[in-house]
Amino acid sequence: DQQVKQNSPSLSVQEGRISILNCDYTNSMFDYFLWYKKYPAEGPTFLISISSIKDKNEDGRFTVFLNKSAKHLSLHIVPSQPGDSAVYFCAASGATGGFKTIFGAGTRLFVKA
């Protein structure tokens, strides 16, 4: 039973346009959410995070939105660049999880030049 779901295995976007990656979670005890980015042959790297007390966090071209009532978060990349092509993992953690961060299955983003 996956507590963090990324229902789109892949997404293709034109360079310069907006990329929107979605993530749903089922555990209402999650209070911290993260996005990691993974290039081929490399480990995931932390991208951006958001606490449950906020509904938006922005870092340059990357913005994460959190809708607690819908148990949904999204990552917006504007404008998208070819170098953004990677697998993006959504992750969540909460007080009940202890040290555990729960990861989604990932969404592969293709940004076409």
Q: Which is nearer to another protein, 84 or 89 (by Cβ)?
A: 89
Q: Which is nearer to another protein, 47 or 111 (by Cβ)?
A: 47
Minimum Å gap between C-beta 74 and another protein is 17
Of the candidates 74, 58, 77, 63, the residue with the CA atom closest to the CA atom of residue 19? 77
| Residue 7 three-state SS | coil
Hey, what are 16's tokens? 């310069």
Minimum Å gap between C-beta 9 and another protein is 8
Q: Which is nearer to another protein, 9 or 16 (by Cβ)?
A: 9
Measured CA to CA, the distance from residue 49 to residue 2 in angstroms comes to 20
Of the candidates 63, 41, 43, the residue with the CA atom closest to the CA atom of residue 54? 63
Would you tell me which residues interact with another protein (CB under 8 A)? Answer: 2, 4, 6, 9, 32, 34, 41-46, 49, 89, 91, 93, 98-101, 103-106
